[in-house]
C-alpha cells in the first residue's frame, strides 16, 4: 500500500518563519533558556525519531523564539525516510486515548470552516481515568483569530456542552483541539480559557495542512516553566496518543477505510457472502505475506527470528486436529441445522404471503 | 434515490461517520432499552446526504418533559448552524436488536417525518449484527401507498384491501453509499498506520449459533402473535358471516309474516332497522397484522443471510481440515 511520501526537507524550514513572524506574545512567555527545548526533546524517544518531535517540542517550548538548537538534530535525519510522526511513549506523561470519531469530526469542522479562517478550534469531551484520558466526543467552537487578538465564543461552548451533557451525562470537558501544525501564542490564551473549565486541560493538534505530507496528531498538556518567583511561562509537553475503539467502532472504521481504495472515494455496503469473501481475502493476503517471509528465510535472504518462528508454529497448530469421522459428523450436523433453518425461514415467508392473499380475498 | 453518507462527523457512530456516533451511543448505554434515537441533518436533495447527527436519547425510563426533546433539537440545530454544519433536518435513526424494528411507533414517527419532509429516511442500525463483523446499516422510507393509508388514518380491512398493500410493500429500502472527502482519506491512511484496526476477525468466527438462536426465538414469538392475530381475524369473519345469515333469516321471517298479515288483512309490521338489531362485530385492526408480517419477513431475511454466511464459513473450515488430513 502506498503511503504518502514524506518530504524530509519540510520540517526544519517551517518552524523558523513562524516564530520570527509572530510578535512578542502578550501572555507570560518568558524567553526560555536553550536547555529547555533540549529538556523537552529528551523525553521524546530516540534521537533517530523523526524531525517532527524535535521541531514540535522546540516550537512549543518558546513560541517567540527561534528554535535554533532544535534545527540541528532536525536536519540530520533528513536524507533517510523519517520515522513515525508520533514519537514513542512519553514516560511519566498521561496517555490520551482517542476515538476516531474525534478525528473525523475535527477534519470535518476544518472542511467547513469560514472564509479566511486558518484553523478551527473546539472542545474535547470524554472521561478521565487514573492514568489515561479517554476522549470520546467533541464539538467545534466558532472563533476569530487575527494577528494580535483572538476571540472565542465561550457562550456557545458552554451551551453546546450543556446540550451534550443532557444526552450523555458522563462526559466532561477534557480540553480543546485545534487544527494546524503549530502551537501559536493564541493557543496559550485559549488554553488558559479552557483551564478554567477543566483541571489540567489537554490540547490536541491535528495537522490538516499536511506538513511533511502527513496528518500528524499530537496531544499536549501545559506545564509551568521558568524561574520560580518571577513570571512563569507556559510550556506544552507532549503526551502519548493512543487510539481506542469500541468493537463496533472498529468494524465501521474498517469499512470506511475502504473508500481509500476507490477512485471516487465511494463505497456501498456489501451483503452477506461478499463480506465473508472480503474477510477471507484479507486473511489470504496476510497468509501470503507470511509465506513470503518463510520462503525468504528458507532461501537465506532474511535471517530467521525465533519469536516469529514460534508464532508461525502456533499459527499452524491453530487448525485443530480432529478425527476425520468426527469432523464429518460435526460438519454435517451443522450444515443440516443451517439448511433446516433456511427451509423454515422460506416456509414462514411463503406462509405469510399466502395469508396476505387469503385475507385480501 | 441513493443515500450518501458523508464522512466525518458525528454519528452515533457520528457522521464519519454517522455510523460511528451511532455505535458509540448505543455502546455507552450498555445496550439496554431502546438504544439511541436521533435526528440527522443533511445537505442536499435527490441523493439525500447525511452529514451529521445529533443524538437525542429517548429513554422511556426517564420521566422528562417531552418538549425538552424538541427544545434540545432546536438548540442543537441552531448551534450547528453557527459552525457551518448542515442543519437541515433530514430524518432520524434508530438502533435495534436483531432487526426488530417494524413497530407501530416507528411507523408513526416515520410517517410524521415523511409527511413534513419529503425525502426523510429512517436509518436502522443493528449493533449486535455489527459486532458480528460487518456494519449493519439500512435506510428505509414508507412507500407512497402506505403514506396514503396513514394519512387517512383508516386501518380497517376494507381500506387496506383497497390500497392493496402487502407486507412486502410497506417499507422501501434505500441503498446506502459512503463517501469520504480527500482529507478524510488522508486521515484514514494515518489511522491505518497508527492503529491495528482490523486485527480481530469476528466475521469469520464460527461460534455464532447464539445469535441464530436468539433470532429464531424472536421469530417464533412473532409467529405466535401472528397466529393469534389470524385466529382473531377468523373469528371475526365467522361472526360476520353468521350475522349475515341471521339477518337474512330475520328478513325472510319478516317477509313471511308480512305476507301472512296481508292475507289476513292486518297492517304489516313496521320495518325495523336491521342494523340496530344486528350490530356488526368490530373488524380487527389490520395494521398490526401487517406490521407483524413485515417483521417476520425481516427476521426471515436476516436468518437467511446469516445461514448463507455460516454455510460458507463451514465449507472453508472443511477445506482446511481436508488439507490437514
- pLDDT tens per residue, range B100-122: 788 888 888 888 888 887 777 88
When pLDDT is averaged across residues B36-59 and rounded to a whole number, the result is 43
A117 touches chain B (CB under 8 A): no
Q: Is the pLDDT of residue B199 over 70?
A: no
Site from B3, B5, B9 to mutate, A interface, most A CB atoms within 10 angstroms: B9
The alpha-carbon gap from B170 to the nearest alpha carbon of chain A, in Å, equals 13
Do B151 and B144 meet the contact criterion of CB atoms below 8 Å apart?
Answer: no
| CA–CA dist A281, A114 (Å, integer) | 43
Report the residue from B14, B198, B203 with minimal CB separation from A275: B203
Residue B145 lies in a domain: yes
Q: Is the pLDDT of residue B154 over 70?
A: no
Residue A209 vs residue A287, higher pLDDT: A287
Q: Which of B199, B214, B237 is the last residue of a domain?
A: B199
Report the residue from B133, B305, B308 with minimal CB separation from A251: B133
Q: Find the helix or strand (DSSP H, E) in which A221 lies.
A: strand A217-225
Q: Let me know whether B63 and B173 are in one domain.
A: yes
Q: Which three cell numbers stand for residue A89?
A: 511513549
Do B286 and B160 meet the contact criterion of CB atoms below 8 Å apart?
Answer: yes
Question: Which residues have CB under 8 Å from A196's CB, separation 6+?
Answer: none
Cα–Cα nearest to A74, from A111, A124, A38: A38
Q: Please give the pLDDT value at position A343.
A: 92
Q: Is the pLDDT of residue A17 over 70?
A: no
Overall domain count for chain B: 2
Residue B81 lies in a domain: yes
Q: Let me know whether B106 and B226 are in one domain.
A: no
Q: Which of B148, B182, B199 is the last residue of a domain?
A: B199
Do A271 and A128 meet the contact criterion of CB atoms below 8 Å apart?
Answer: no
Q: Let me know whether B135 and B80 are in one domain.
A: yes
| CA–CA dist A214, B183 (Å, integer) | 11
- Which ipTM was obtained for this model? 0.73
Q: Let me know whether B250 and B172 are in one domain.
A: no
Q: How many residues does chain A have?
A: 361
Q: Please give the pLDDT value at position B173.
A: 81
| CA–CA dist B124, B101 (Å, integer) | 8
- Does the distance separating the beta carbons of A280 and B16 come in below 8 Å? no
- Computed over every residue of chain A, the mean pLDDT equals 70
Q: Let me know whether B304 and B247 are in one domain.
A: yes
CB atoms within 10 A of CB B112: 12
Q: Let me know whether B144 and B220 are in one domain.
A: no
| CA–CA dist B127, B133 (Å, integer) | 10
When pLDDT is averaged across residues A206-218 and rounded to a whole number, the result is 78
Q: Let me know whether B44 and B175 are in one domain.
A: yes
When pLDDT is averaged across residues A13-38 and rounded to a whole number, the result is 34
Residue B8 lies in a domain: no
Q: Let me know whether B118 and B139 are in one domain.
A: yes
Q: Let me know whether B239 and B120 are in one domain.
A: no
Residue B1 lies in a domain: no
Q: Please give the pLDDT value at position A7.
A: 34
A349 touches chain B (CB under 8 A): yes
Q: Let me know whether B134 and B172 are in one domain.
A: yes
Highest mean pLDDT among A138-142, B71-75, B164-168: A138-142
The CATH number for B94's domain is 3.40.140.10
Do B43 and B86 meet the contact criterion of CB atoms below 8 Å apart?
Answer: yes
Q: Let me know whether B109 and B163 are in one domain.
A: yes
Residue B97 lies in a domain: yes
E strands present in A59-104: 95-98
Chain B partners within 8 Å of A274 (Cβ): none
Q: Please give the pLDDT value at position A66.
A: 37
Residue B293 vs residue A53, higher pLDDT: B293
Q: Which three cell numbers stand for residue A207?
A: 495537522
How sure is the predictor about B86, in pLDDT bands with cuts at 50, 70 and 90? low
Residue B20 lies in a domain: no
Residue B47 vs residue B67, higher pLDDT: B67
Q: Let me know whether B71 and B93 are in one domain.
A: yes
- What's CA B115's distance to the chain center, in Å? 16
Provide, rounded to the nearest whole percent, the portion of chain B with pLDDT above 90. Answer: 0
When pLDDT is averaged across residues A110-133 and rounded to a whole number, the result is 82
Alpha-helical segments (H) within A180-242: 185-197
Per the structure, the complete domain to which residue B309 belongs is given by 206-260+277-324
Q: Please give the pLDDT value at position B216.
A: 85
Q: Is the pLDDT of residue A96 over 80?
A: yes
- Does the distance separating the beta carbons of B191 and A257 come in below 8 Å? yes
Do B152 and B159 meet the contact criterion of CB atoms below 8 Å apart?
Answer: yes
A113 touches chain B (CB under 8 A): yes
- Does the distance separating the beta carbons of B303 and A342 come in below 8 Å? yes
Residue B6 lies in a domain: no
Q: Which of B176, B199, B222 is the last residue of a domain?
A: B199
Give the three-class secondary structure for A21: helix
| CA–CA dist B82, B47 (Å, integer) | 25
Residue B183 lies in a domain: yes
Q: Is the pLDDT of residue A346 over 60?
A: yes
Amino acid at each position: 500500500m502506498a503511503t504518502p511520501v514524506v518530504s524530509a526537507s519540510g520540517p526544519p524550514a517551517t518552524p523558523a518563519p513562524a516564530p520570527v513572524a509572530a510578535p512578542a506574545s502578550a501572555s507570560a512567555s518568558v524567553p526560555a533558556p536553550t536547555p529547555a527545548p533540549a529538556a523537552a526533546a529528551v523525553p521524546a524517544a530516540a534521537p533517530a525519531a523523526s524531525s517532527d518531535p524535535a521541531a514540535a517540542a522546540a516550537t512549543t517550548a518558546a513560541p517567540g523564539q527561534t528554535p535554533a538548537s532544535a534545527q540541528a538534530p532536525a536536519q540530520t535525519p533528513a536524507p533517510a525516510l523519517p520515522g513515525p510522526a508520533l514519537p514513542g511513549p512519553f514516560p511519566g506523561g498521561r496517555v490520551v486515548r482517542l476515538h476516531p470519531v474525534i478525528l473525523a469530526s475535527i477534519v470535518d469542522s476544518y472542511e467547513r470552516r469560514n472564509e479566511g479562517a486558518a484553523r478551527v478550534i473546539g472542545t474535547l469531551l470524554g472521561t478521565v481515568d487514573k492514568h489515561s484520558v479517554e476522549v470520546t466526543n467533541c464539538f467545534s467552537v466558532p472563533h476569530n483569530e487575527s494577528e494580535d487578538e483572538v476571540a472565542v465564543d465561550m457562550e456557545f461552548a458552554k451551551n453546546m456542552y450543556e446540550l451534550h451533557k443532557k444526552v450523555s451525562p458522563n462526559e466532561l470537558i477534557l480540553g480543546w483541539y485545534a487544527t494546524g501544525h503549530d502551537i501559536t501564542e493564541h493557543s496559550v490564551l485559549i488554553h488558559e480559557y479552557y483551564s478554567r473549565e477543566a483541571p489540567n486541560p489537554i490540547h490536541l493538534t491535528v495537522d490538516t495542512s499536511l506538513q511533511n505530507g502527513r496528518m500528524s496528531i499530537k496531544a499536549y498538556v501545559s506545564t509551568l516553566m521558568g524561574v520560580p518567583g518571577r513570571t512563569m511561562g507556559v510550556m506544552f509537553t507532549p503526551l502519548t496518543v493512543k487510539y481506542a475503539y469500541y468493537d463496533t467502532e472498529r468494524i465501521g472504521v474498517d469499512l470506511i477505510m475502504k473508500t481509500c481504495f476507490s477512485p471516487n472515494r465511494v463505497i456501498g455496503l456489501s451483503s452477506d457472502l461478499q463480506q465473508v469473501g472480503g474477510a477471507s481475502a484479507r486473511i489470504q493476503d496476510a497468509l501470503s505475506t507470511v509465506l513470503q517471509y518463510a520462503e525468504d528465510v528458507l532461501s537465506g535472504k532474511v535471517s530467521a527470528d525465533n519469536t516469529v518462528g514460534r508464532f508461525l508454529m502456533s499459527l499452524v497448530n491453530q487448525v485443530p486436529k480432529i478425527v476425520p469421522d468426527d469432523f464429518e459428523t460435526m460438519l454435517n450436523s451443522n450444515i443440516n441445522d443451517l439448511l433446516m433453518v433456511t427451509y423454515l425461514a422460506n416456509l414462514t415467508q411463503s406462509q405469510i404471503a399466502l395469508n396476505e392473499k387469503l385475507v385480501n380475498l | 434515490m441513493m443515500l450518501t453518507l458523508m464522512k466525518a462527523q458525528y454519528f452515533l457512530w457520528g457522521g464519519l461517520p454517522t455510523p460511528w456516533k451511532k455505535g458509540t451511543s448505543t455502546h455507552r448505554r450498555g445496550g439496554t432499552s431502546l438504544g439511541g434515537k436521533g435526528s440527522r441533518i443533511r445537505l442536499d436533495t435527490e441523493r439525500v446526504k447525511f452529514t451529521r447527527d445529533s443524538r437525542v436519547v429517548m429513554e422511556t425510563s426517564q420521566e422528562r418533559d417531552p418538549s425538552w426533546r424538541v427544545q434540545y433539537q432546536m438548540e442543537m440545530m441552531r448551534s450547528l448552524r453557527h459552525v457551518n454544519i448542515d442543519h437541515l433536518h433530514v430524518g432520524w435513526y434508530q438502533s435495534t436488536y436483531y432487526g426488530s424494528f417494524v413497530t407501530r411507533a416507528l411507523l408513526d414517527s416515520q410517517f410524521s417525518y415523511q409527511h413534513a419532509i419529503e425525502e426523510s429516511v429512517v436509518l436502522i442500525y443493528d449493533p449486535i449484527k455489527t459486532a458480528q463483523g460487518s456494519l449493519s446499516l439500512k435506510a428505509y422510507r414508507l412507500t407512497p401507498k402506505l403514506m396514503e393509508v396513514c394519512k387517512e388514518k383508516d386501518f380497517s380491512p376494507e381500506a387496506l384491501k383497497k390500497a392493496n398493500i402487502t407486507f412486502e410493500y410497506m417499507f422501501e429500502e434505500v441503498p446506502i453509499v459512503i463517501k469520504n472527502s480527500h482529507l478524510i482519506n488522508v486521515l484514514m491512511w494515518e489511522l491505518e498506520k497508527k492503529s491495528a484496526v482490523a486485527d480481530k476477525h469476528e466475521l469469520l468466527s464460527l461460534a455464532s449459533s447464539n445469535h441464530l438462536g436468539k433470532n429464531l426465538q424472536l421469530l417464533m414469538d412473532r409467529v405466535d402473535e401472528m397466529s393469534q392475530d389470524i385466529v382473531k381475524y377468523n373469528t371475526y369473519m365467522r361472526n360476520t358471516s353468521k350475522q349475515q345469515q341471521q339477518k337474512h333469516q330475520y328478513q325472510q321471517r319478516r317477509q313471511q309474516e308480512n305476507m301472512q298479515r296481508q292475507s289476513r288483512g292486518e297492517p304489516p309490521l313496521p320495518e325495523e332497522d336491521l342494523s340496530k338489531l344486528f350490530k356488526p362485530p368490530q373488524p380487527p385492526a389490520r395494521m398490526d397484522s401487517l406490521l407483524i408480517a413485515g417483521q417476520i419477513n425481516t427476521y426471515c431475511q436476516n436468518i437467511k443471510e446469516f445461514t448463507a454466511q455460516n454455510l460458507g464459513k463451514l465449507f472453508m473450515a472443511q477445506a482446511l481440515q481436508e488439507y490437514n488430513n
